[in-house]
Amino acid sequence: MELKVYVDRLSQPSRAIVIFCKVNKIDFEEVGIELLKGQHLTPEFKQINPMGKVPAILVDGKFKLFESHAILIFLASACPGVAEHWYPADPYRRAEIHSILDWHHSNLRRGSTEFIQNTLLAPFFGRPLNPQAAAEAEKVLSSSLSKIEALWLKESGQFLQGSSQPSIADLCLVCEIMQLEFLGETDRNRILGPFKKIQRWIEDTKNATNPYFDEVHQSLFAAKAKLQMPS
């Protein structure tokens, strides 16, 4: 399978896909699409993903797919050698992973994206910051983190649903939370500080996917420094 992966490592779902491919030794070509330069909106990229968003993939020069969860499920299913724990065949375990990933869209992802946009990134995309929207997003974000701790992080295992090895849901959600590294320390500590199980889970997911996790997240820290955001 010839695989092109269109990503910007500053985007959390893009990072999840690059880490997944590297950890699972999937042969792929990474095509950088720089969001801050508007490269996702070019006619050329819209030939790959008409929605104008990263990540997207092109398989064997003809099959195009967007939406990161769908991409991860496809790669876990179609690429030989991906370990079972990433996307278990058991219909019950698989259903729980789908449920967490579906929940992600309108909860953790929505809270995280809107908070970061409205406290920090909006001006880089020509929009004003919106403190009221940021305050509402923080509520969604904190409530989402609280639900992850209460429902899915158990004492019995390091990963979601008490598993001893990560699934694609761990990778997607942890990459989402890592986006908070864009924030200044005060905001980040206020939001993440109360969630000790989440902090441990991030470390466990990092350890399970290193050296790739750290390598792929370097872009985030480099961009933060370049954009002169407060640490």
Q: Which stretch binds its own copies (CB under 8 A): 99-107, 115-123, 155-163, 190-198?
A: 99-107
Q: Which stretch binds its own copies (CB under 8 A): 27-35, 102-110, 117-125, 153-161?
A: 102-110
Pick between residue 100 and residue 191 the one whose CB is nearest to its own copies: 100
* By CB under 8 A, residue 46 contacts its own copies: no
According to DSSP, the residues that pair with 4 across neighbouring strands are 29, 58
131-168 in b/e burial notation, b at 16+ Cβ within 10 A? Answer: eeebeebbebbbebbeebbeebbeeeebbbbebeebbb
For residue 73, state whether it binds its own copies (rule: CB under 8 A): yes
Closest CB to its own copies among 94 and 206? 94
Q: For residues 197 and 206, which CB has a smaller minimum distance to its own copies in the complex?
A: 197
Instruction: Say if residues 112 and 215 touch (Cβ distance below 8 Å).
Output: no
From the list 28-36, 103-111, 178-186, 187-195, the region that binds its own copies by CB under 8 A is 103-111
Site for its own copies in 108-137 (CB under 8 A): 109-110
Task: CB nearer to its own copies: give 105 or 200.
Answer: 105
Give, as ranges, the residues between 140 and 159 that touch its own copies (CB under 8 A): 147, 150-151
Of 30, 67, 149, 181, which one interacts with its own copies (CB under 8 A)?
67
Q: Which two tokens stand for residue 193?
A: 């500080």
Q: How far is the CB of 160 from its own copies (least distance, A)?
A: 14
Among 74, 142, 149, 184, binds its own copies (CB under 8 A): 74
**17: closest CA among 162, 209, 224, 222?**
209
List contacts with its own copies (CB under 8 A): 50-51, 63, 65-71, 73-74, 77-78, 91-92, 94-96, 98-99, 101-103, 105-106, 109-110, 147, 150-151
